[in-house]
A and B are shown apart, each in its own frame.
Chain A
């Protein structure tokens, strides 16, 4: 059955091939379709992951969109479903519905400097776009990754960040809210890194993902440093049920985040972000 014909409400069984512990509360699962076939998606999209008998949650895809064979998700265990997922092992089966939602507009950013700003587990939904950018490296000016974590022990994909920082064609800065005696890097919030990153604000596209408060202040800092609102994209989170625009659970003003988002251009949502009740 093709993806187009598939019922979006019907979970597809995927077998967990590998589980990797990233942080004390965060893990990455590699999934393969139990019934065979691949899984095509665009960077920034998410799936509804179903732990049978427990419940279903929206989780962004954190793998490489160029590698259609494996489906990769990085999840932080915070509640009933994600904790149950955390206790699953290789060989177990989860239900997958998706991919859903709008992607990071990586190709539209060709010819620009590309700035990724991530906070906490927000690096996971951005990683597919970073992979896609690096696979098309010559199409961009500078590629900059700015990442903020709570403490040095909470830095997600640490080895990968180090590897990226070692490249000559990528600029990576990491900061933490609270250092420790072994940490000799930046301490402070991630918007503070923006002024130090060497990009041309007049020709920059910025992708931002993290807690909503962090994204609001990051967008302000990007604007303050000269990046236009139409060049800034944020990935929004709202509670979801169907994931595909049917139930209205994820309504945010006039938007259904699962369908119109999660990735939004900042100028289209800046007013909504300012409304406290939403």
Chain B
């Protein structure tokens, strides 16, 4: 595990916590740890307690669903500069997907229970953390919907053309 001082610098440098107030950042450092994952390691397992979230510093992670008897279905990949996991902040604090390292991954993890305690005791920290998570959740939801549209399949162009034709 890295020194708290190093972790503070790493947190400061990560886009997710860009510009965070130094007092709040030092509260975060107390719940943080440096971690490293080999390709194939799981950072998160579906159905298990969501006790952590990660700031990804290097490498790539697949967010996926396990399908019995088949290869897992990868829903999205996320990488350097992104954040992984928000189930730690939403009751009942259970992970909803698997997250597997596709490459060597370096990350800073945050202990969810530790951070929840600090956020409950310090609303400014609570607000700051949630304020940063909400756009990420919104963005992931929006892009998941776009993916579902199957934009490059024949369906969307067909529907758009039919709509324009009817309007003529």
Contact = CB atoms under 8 A, between A and B. Distances in A.
Interface in B75-96: 75-81
A98 interface: no
B75 A211 contact: no
A214 B143 contact: no
Contacts, number: 73
B9 interface: no
A154 B75 contact: no
A150 B160 contact: no
Interface residues of A, number: 35
A212 B160 contact: yes
B102 A150 contact: no
Contacts of B75: 187
Q: What's the interface size class on B, roughly?
A: 20 to 34
B156 A211 contact: yes
Interface string B141-156: 0010011011111101
B147 A211 contact: no
A210 B151 contact: yes
Most buried by B among A178, A183, A186, A196: A186
Nearest to B76: A188
A86 B165 CA distance: 25
A119 B143 contact: no
A177 B152 contact: yes
Nearest to B70: A181
Contact of B151 (A192, A214, A238, A239): A214
Which of B78, B102, B156, B157 lies at the interface centre, i.e. has the most chain A CB atoms within 10 A of its CB? Answer: B157
A181 B69 CA distance: 13
A184 interface: yes
A119 B102 CA distance: 24
Given A187-B76, A210-B151, A192 B157 contact: no
A101 interface: no
A277 B167 contact: yes
Interface string A178-207: 111101111111011001100000000000
B50 to A, nearest CB: 21
Given A187-B75, A239-B164, A119 B152 contact: yes
A217 B146 contact: yes
Given A188-B143, A212-B160, A239-B161, A196 B150 contact: no
A177 B143 contact: no
B71 interface: yes
**Closest 10 pairs (CB-CB, A-B):** A120-B152, A181-B71, A150-B152, A179-B74, A188-B76, A187-B74, A189-B146, A187-B77, A211-B151, A186-B77
21 contacts: A78-B154, A78-B157, A148-B152, A154-B152, A177-B150, A177-B152, A178-B73, A178-B147, A179-B74, A183-B74, A187-B74, A187-B77, A188-B143, A189-B143, A211-B151, A211-B152, A213-B146, A214-B151, A239-B164, A277-B167, A278-B164
